[in-house]
């Protein structure tokens, strides 16, 4: 009996302790928020299709990009891969029956929903206009919008992140099956382990910073506003101490997903497995020490700026190791361009462009020209959307048969992957040029000479929107009409593929014993296996 058949009532879902069901609950909730955030983005791109203000005025525009940022960062990207794919797969991949603390896992979902309700309340109450960064003193003294309500939503959701992170750390340390040594862990698990460390150590800093903002706004006493004896730089340091590592919360799990997919569809073991694991830890560690590169022009010490610049260049080293190793994994592989593989390859390419432009921004002198322009917007969308969302969708397709027991329609999967890739590049590549030519971010109007590039970007956004809507349609269809998947439709390695699809509630009938490396792909073994269960798409 699969985990889906353990009960059909709403109550059986809302009171479940099963990590797989909680993953589904999370997937539904974050998908809803993705489309709310996406609606705000649609309005933004519509407004920017012409140089003058025609759809919305400045105030509304400010609220649009703020709610877009708040929802996409905290209610979609941060929980996206960890809380859905991570929740579903971590116990399966290490050979455990569940996470270490199943009740805490359910609690984290309820906390997420509560935070989400605050955010919805913010929207209904009229929105918030500070930008997702809540910069002081604007947020504490001048904004006339619902700052406290929005901050409360983010504050609450932070605790769901912390609980997920705590759960994953303990699970990886204490729940591994016999024989599952640290260097037999799939890179997906390594990535989530590093992500969890960031979640647990960085999120509370944001939480307390938001408390200080709310108190300063409410009581007119505090440490951020110069008029009250405070310093806005203190806020920026605290905010980016969380929010820069937050980028790694979004992209490390994406790297984990890409590693699993690329190795499977190249039919080759991951090149330099140990270096991949060390690179993940390296990124998580150095990622904690680069936050000052968001503040090069803020008035922080020049020497601090130099140190942060050097450290930002250093974080590119482990990132580059990963890109090289993915490429080397493909070399002489037997590659299938299935839908998950298209997403994963798209991830690698877009992550590389996003990463390289990140180096441009990490260069002090160039950043003076590019700071607060569309170049920055394009850069982080390449990482967060081109990188994380591509990988998330790749993972959803790759493990869809495992989670649902059904195959998605392969042709539609590929079409959507290509539409998203094209739409994404058309949306965001022109923004690099816009930024380079000097168009500042966060304005609803712009000089007419920027029109062509903005129209291209808005046109790309409409293609991207279609690309994101497609999977909703065909994945929903496949739930009822998709071909039955079988335990291991990709002939993939990894413990999760040894369970039936969908897996039973306790995952494994007998606790598995692990005897080999995680990526024992080889042409010889494929040849042996040929003659039956390989369903090459």
Partner 1 sequence: MSVAHRIAEQFETREQQREADSLGTWVFLATELMFFGPLFLAYFYGRTHYGEGFAVASGRTHVWLGTANTALLLTSSLTMALAVRASWIGRRGVTLLLALTAALGVAFLAVKGIEYRKEWDEALVPPFRFVFAGEHARAVEVFYWLYFLITGLHALHLTIGIGLVLWLALRARRGDFGPHYHAPVEMTGLYWHFVDVLWIFLYPLIYLLERWR
Residues that bind partner 1 (CB under 8 A): 96-102, 162, 165-166, 169-170, 173-175, 200-205, 207-209, 212, 215, 219-223, 228-231, 234, 237-238, 506, 511
Give the ranges where 48-98 is alpha helix by DSSP (H). 58-70, 78-79, 87-94
CB-nearer residue toward partner 1: 205 or 416: 205
* Closer residue to partner 1 (CB): 240 or 265: 240
Q: Is residue 138 within 8 Å of 130, Cβ to Cβ?
A: yes
- Min dist CB 271 to partner 1, Å, is 32
Least distance in Å: CB of 170 to partner 1?
5
Structure tokens at 257: 């997903």
- Cβ at position 166, least distance to partner 1 in Å: 5
DSSP calls for 428-476: HHHHHHHHHHTPBSS-S---GGGHHHHHHHHHHHHHHHHHHHHHHHHHH
Q: Which two tokens stand for residue 37?
A: 């955030």
Closest distance of CB 209 from partner 1, Å: 5
Say how far apart CA 116 and CA 280 lie, in whole Å. Answer: 30
DSSP 296: T
Looking at the Cβ atoms of 162 and 377, the one nearer to partner 1 is 162
Q: For the chain, give the number of residues.
A: 537
Nearest-approach distance from CB 497 to partner 1, in angstroms: 21
- Minimum CB–partner distance for residue 214 and partner 1 (Å): 12
Q: What is the nearest approach in angstroms of partner 1 to the Cβ of residue 206?
A: 9
State yes or no: cis peptide before 406, omega within 30 of 0: no
Interhelix angle 87-94/390-404, rounded to 10 degrees, is: 60
Which of 43/284 has CB closer to partner 1? 284
Q: Compare residues 248 and 428 and give the one whose CB is closer to partner 1.
A: 248
Classify 532 in phi/psi space as left (phi over 0), alpha (psi -120 to 50) or beta.
Answer: left
Q: How far apart are CA 18 and CA 5, in angstroms?
A: 12
Q: Which residues of 72-81 are buried (b: 16+ CB within 10 A; e: fewer)?
A: bbbbbbbbbb
SS3 144: coil
| Nearer Cβ to partner 1 (201/356) | 201
On whether the CB atoms of residues 153 and 116 are closer than 8 A, the answer is: yes
Smallest gap from residue 232 Cβ to partner 1 (A):
11
Is residue 159 within 8 Å of residue 111, measured between CB atoms?
yes
Residue 22 and residue 8: Cα distance in Å, rounded?
Answer: 14
CB of 100 to partner 1, least distance (A): 5
Our CB check for partner 1 shows the closer of 200 and 249 to be 200
Least distance to partner 1, CB of residue 199, Å: 9
CA–CA–CA angle 230, 235, 238 (5° rounding):
135
Other beta carbons within 10 Å of 500: 16
3-class SS of residue 504: strand
Query: Which residue lies nearer to partner 1 by CB, 121 or 170?
Result: 170
Distant-in-sequence, close-in-space partners of 189: CB < 8 Å, separation ≥ 6 = 90, 93, 94, 172, 256
Report the residue number, 410 or 506, with the smaller CB distance to partner 1. Answer: 506
CB of 294 to partner 1, least distance (A): 17
Residue 406: strand pairing partners: 484
Nearer to partner 1, 146 or 209 (CB): 209
Q: Which is nearer to partner 1, 252 or 266 (CB)?
A: 252
Minimum distance between the CB of residue 350 and partner 1, rounded to whole angstroms? Answer: 32
Return all residues near 135 (Cβ < 8 A) that are at least 6 apart: 232, 235, 236, 239
Taking the least distance from each CB to partner 1, the nearer of 173 and 533 is 173
């Amino acid at each position: 009996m699969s985990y889906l058949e353990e009960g059909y009532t709403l109550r059986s879902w809302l009171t479940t302790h099963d990590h797989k069901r909680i993953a589904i609950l999370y997937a539904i909730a974050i998908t809803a928020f993705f489309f709310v955030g996406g609606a705000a983005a649609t309005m933004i791109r519509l407004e920017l299709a012409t140089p003058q203000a025609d759809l919305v005025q400045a105030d509304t525009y400010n609220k649009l990009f703020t709610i877009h940022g708040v929802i996409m960062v905290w209610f979609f990207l941060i929980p996206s891969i960890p809380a859905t794919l991570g929740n579903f797969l971590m116990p399966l991949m290490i050979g455990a029956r569940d996470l270490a603390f199943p009740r805490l896992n359910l609690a984290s979902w309820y906390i997420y929903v509560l935070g989400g309700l605050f955010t919805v309340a913010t929207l209904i109450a009229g929105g918030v206009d500070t930008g997702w960064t809540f910069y002081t003193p604007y947020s504490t003294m001048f904004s006339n919008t619902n700052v406290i309500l929005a901050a409360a939503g983010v504050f609450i959701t932070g605790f769901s992140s912390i609980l997920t992170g705590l759960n994953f750390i303990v699970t990886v340390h204490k729940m591994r099956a016999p024989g599952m040594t640290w260097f037999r862990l799939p890179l997906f698990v390594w990535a989530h382990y590093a992500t969890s460390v960031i979640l647990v150590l960085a999120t509370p800093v944001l939480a307390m910073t938001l408390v200080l903002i709310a108190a300063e706004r409410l009581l007119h006493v505090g440490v951020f506003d110069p008029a009250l004896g405070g310093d806005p730089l203190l806020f920026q340091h605290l905010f980016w101490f969380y929010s820069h590592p937050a980028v790694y919360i979004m992209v490390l799990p994406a790297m984990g997903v890409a590693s699993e997919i690329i190795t499977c569809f190249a039919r080759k073991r991951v090149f330099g497995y140990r270096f991949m694991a060390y690179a993940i830890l390296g990124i998580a560690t150095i990622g904690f020490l680069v936050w000052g590169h968001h503040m090069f022009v803020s008035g922080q010490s020049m020497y601090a700026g130099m140190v942060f610049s050097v450290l930002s260049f250093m974080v590119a080293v482990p990132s580059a190791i990963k890109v090289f190793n993915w490429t080397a994994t493909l070399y002489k592989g037997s590659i299938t361009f299935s839908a998950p593989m298209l997403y994963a390859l798209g991830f690698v390419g877009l992550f590389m462009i996003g990463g390289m432009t990140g180096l441009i921004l990490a260069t002090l002198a160039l950043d003076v020209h590019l700071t607060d322009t569309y170049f920055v917007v394009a850069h982080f969308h390449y990482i967060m959307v081109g990188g994380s969302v591509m990988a998330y969708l790749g993972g959803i397709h790759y493990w869809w048969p495992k989670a649902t027991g059904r195959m998605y329609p392969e042709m539609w999967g590929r079409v959507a992957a290509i539409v998203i890739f094209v739409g994404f590049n058309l949306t965001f590549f022109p923004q690099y040029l816009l930024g380079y030519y000097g168009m500042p971010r966060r304005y609803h109007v712009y000089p007419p000479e920027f029109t062509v590039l903005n129209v291209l970007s808005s046109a790309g956004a409409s293609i991207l929107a279609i690309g994101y809507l497609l999977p909703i349609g065909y994945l929903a269809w496949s739930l009822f009409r998709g071909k039955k998947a079988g335990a291991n439709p990709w002939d993939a390695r990894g413990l999760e593929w040894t369970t039936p699809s969908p897996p039973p509630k306790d995952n494994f009938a007998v606790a598995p014993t692990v005897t080999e490396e995680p990526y024992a792909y080889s042409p010889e073994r494929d040849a042996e296996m040929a003659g039956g269960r390989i369903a090459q798409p």
